[in-house]
A and B are shown apart, each in its own frame.
Chain A
Amino acid sequence: MVDSHLVLWGQTIAYSFYCLVIILLMAWFGYKITRTGKSNIVKPALFYTFVAFLTVLGVSLHIITYNTIPWAPVDLNRGDYMPDKTFEITMQNHEFHLPSETLVIDCNELVLFDVTSKDLTYGFGVFRQDNSMVFQMQVVPGHRNDILWKFEKSGIYTIRSTEYSGPRGIFMILKDVVEVMPCEGS
């Protein structure tokens, strides 16, 4: 089961490893260029191989994430999916207006959050109890802002605005207003 926790954990490992390698490489390079060596010539073939490697890396990152992160294809093709449940939410004057006090969701249900702003640009994010992010989107006035999401873990979640909307925006937090019911077999 791939959720945002797992994706972020994978990213942390991959990027930390990369940072370590590139820092060590630069340190080695800095040391070596102050010393005489066997050959000072860099062959063009090495350069072209490096460019080809970067090209493959740049494109493959998106292919891999599209095929491994479950929400990526759903997000790009939202029109092809039928939600099990829809929540229509309004944001105005630095406040959320939810359809009910608590948004109750069944585990593994495909939920559509349809959020409208009546004045400023806001953000709509769902967070776990430990403040880590489940997902977020921008909420732009005059446009439809909708996101499909499947919660695969039960729990209580918090909603907060994820976009700056002036100093008043920092208080746009609704604590523990999303409840995902226990999953089957859990």
Chain B
Amino acid sequence: MSFKNTFINGADGLFKPDSLTQMQKIVLRFVVVGLVYYGFAVIEGMIMRIYEIEPVPFINTNQFFAILTAHPLVGIFGSTYALVFGAFLFLTPYLMKKPIYSVRLANWALILLAFGTFLFWFAGFISHYAPLYTLYWPLPADFEQFSVWGGTFFILGIAILMVGTLFFIINIFKTIVYTPEGWEKQDAAALFGSAIGYTGLKNMLAKKENKKEHLVPLPVAAIARGTVDMVLNTAIILFTGVLILVFMLGHILGFDLKESAIDALLYKNWFWWGLDLIADGLVLIFVAGTWYLLAMMITGKKLFMQNIARAALLLELVVSWTVWSHHLLSDQAQPAVLKVVSGELVTAFELITQGLAFFIVLATLWSARPLKMTNPLKFLLGGLLGFALAVPAGIMQADVGLNRILHNTQWVVGPHVHVAVLVGLTMTLYAAVYILFPIVTNGAKLYSQKLANIHFWFHLIGGIGMGAFMGMAGLNGMLRRTLYVDGEFNTYMILAALSGSLLLIAFLVFFYNIVMSVGLKGVIGIFTKSKLETKELLPE
């Protein structure tokens, strides 16, 4: 096929958007939205990398910090949430062997996520609203530095996004427990108990003959338990948003509310408790669940130590509710008991729960060798390596002694955050994208394996390299969330930027490969109405 023909019709003309069900189209739309926002995050990341080396003329400092504020939010919500929503809205009914509860809810979740992300990004872009995602009180309500109108629309965007998240949550839980039309009535309570881990907990205490079977597959249990954290987190972000909006609307209406009415330390505890439900909760649980699913799909075998894996998912959920204090080890007013118990000891459990998932996946893969080094397998190994590097880096900084010299340095955001997100999480998601691609597209062919290989190596080397150079800068005293106008750490920042450019190239190569696989007509076809009105996932 000629280049032009492939570009228009996709590789070998195999992708036929008319053959897609409603759910297949929605999943692919989520993927497109997720990749577009990933592109935003990568380009913004590169702009900031360059700015850290040498301020560029068309961006001022206020714009830089507005980008710094929007960047993680676009990455987490606009990109990762979109990919996760798409994958799990497909996998939950697929693994439960029943239709999705509501196609309409899934569609609305997508619309609200895409619009909410754009709104807060655009509000930040225009108004330079930049209290950072940490929102340390009373900074979000500092209207001397930030525009109150910009902030209002920024928070509104986040709120819309959270409503979309609620729609996703409802759809996931309803899909697990509901009885499809024409089916024999299903025991919703038993399904729910199995999904969140109550059945497993009861089994641990029951006699052998009284033990009950698990009604939901292990990956669905992971999705459900991660979604529990998502419920709590969404409630906290919504509440926090409303609180900030009250101060903003008060200011707009001419009533300046007393900022000191909110205790800054209590707010910080509240905020980090909620945010850690993402960073140390649903991300780790979703990732472990995805690893398990990928290992089973790649090997075609049962998971090694399946019951332990299931129990560990519940343990991880409980751990995620009690680890927030590791963010407050440098807050001197934080009680010492919280620093030691929550900040150090409970946090160390993450080494165990993630290590355990890591071992289980490797053992499952080992049991099926020889395996072919496919794209899902190599990206899965990359994802495993990412967390194997990032989790110990996090455990080190979650130490009273070490945190005194690591807190708010580039160490935190480099070897821990960026390696976890870019190498660990993103490579796991890429593995899922590669394995689901032929299923969701009804057998479309990947345009180029060579490009997929470039995507893998550039992403892996770029992600680890960037984290490593940021980490070296951090160990030498470079702070995060600031600018060094005299170029004190330029050597590290140039090396980090070069690594970052590998990530950008990897993304562009991947995007090109996917577009050439489905073709321009295919991309447009994803966004047209499905001709198959069925709620089923796949065409019959």
Contacts and interface: CB of A to CB of B under 8 A. Distances in A.
B484 to A, nearest CB: 8
Interface in A134-186: 134-138, 140-147, 160, 162-170
A133 interface: yes
B268 interface: yes
A169 B348 CA distance: 33
Interface size class of A (residues with CB under 8 A): 35 or more
B139 A121 contact: yes
Given A36-B369, A163-B408, A62 B489 contact: no
Contacts of B359: 47, 50-51
A71 interface: yes
Contact of B348 (A62, A163, A167): A62
Contacts of A58: 348-349, 351-352, 395
A26 B384 contact: yes
Contacts of B489: 131
Interface string B115-137: 00000000000000011101011
Interface stretch (B37-45, B224-232, B399-407): B399-407
Interface in B265-308: 265, 268, 304-305, 308
Contact of A121 (B61, B136, B372, B388): B136
Given A75-B400, A131-B488, A138-B330, A29 B351 contact: no
Interface string A1-41: 00010011001100100110011001001101111110011
Interface in B385-417: 385, 388-389, 392-393, 395-396, 399-402, 404-405, 407-409, 415
Given A40-B369, A47-B305, A144-B332, A136 B265 contact: no
A30 B211 CA distance: 38
Across the A-B interface, the 8 shortest Cβ-Cβ residue pairs: A58-B348, A69-B401, A72-B401, A143-B333, A164-B481, A132-B477, A42-B363, A65-B401
Given A120-B138, A123-B408, 19 more contacts: A4-B405, A7-B402, A15-B392, A23-B385, A29-B362, A29-B381, A30-B373, A33-B369, A37-B369, A41-B367, A47-B363, A62-B399, A62-B400, A75-B404, A120-B139, A133-B405, A143-B264, A146-B332, A169-B482
Interface of B: 61-62, 64-65, 130-132, 134, 136-139, 142, 145-146, 260, 263-265, 268, 304-305, 308, 328, 330-333, 336, 339-340, 344-345, 348-349, 351-352, 355-356, 359-360, 362-363, 365-373, 378, 381, 384-385, 388-389, 392-393, 395-396, 399-402, 404-405, 407-409, 415, 464, 468, 471-472, 475-479, 481-483, 485, 488-489
17 contacts: A4-B405, A11-B396, A23-B464, A33-B368, A40-B367, A47-B360, A69-B401, A71-B404, A75-B401, A120-B139, A121-B264, A130-B476, A137-B404, A138-B330, A144-B332, A170-B61, A170-B483
